[in-house]
């Protein structure tokens, strides 16, 4: 999860060409993650890690 938050912040610093190239790939990975997981409002992970705010 920490890496995904870092990517979210770094995305703003990337060149437009890089963003256009990688956006579909990142979206595909995000979609795979969403299909493979169940949203429990962070309860399971919260036992082990402090979760970031809802904006991330």
**Residue of 19, 8, 15, 17 lying closest to 53 (CA atoms):** 8
Tokens 């990142």 belong to residue: 26
Cα gap 56→54, rounded to integer Å: 5
pLDDT in tens, 3-34: 778 888 888 899 999 999 999 999 999 899 89
Q: Does position 35 have pLDDT exceeding 90, yes or no?
A: yes
* Amino acid 24: pLDDT: 96
CA distances (Å), 29 to each of 36, 47, 48, 55, in order? 11, 25, 23, 19
Confidence of residue 54 (pLDDT cuts 50, 70, 90): low
């Amino acid at each position: 999860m920490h890496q995904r938050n870092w990517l979210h912040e770094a995305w703003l610093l990337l060149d437009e060409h890089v963003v256009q190239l990688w956006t579909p790939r990142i979206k595909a990975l995000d979609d795979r993650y969403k299909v493979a997981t169940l949203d429990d409002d962070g309860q399971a992970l919260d036992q082990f890690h402090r979760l970031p705010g809802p904006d991330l």
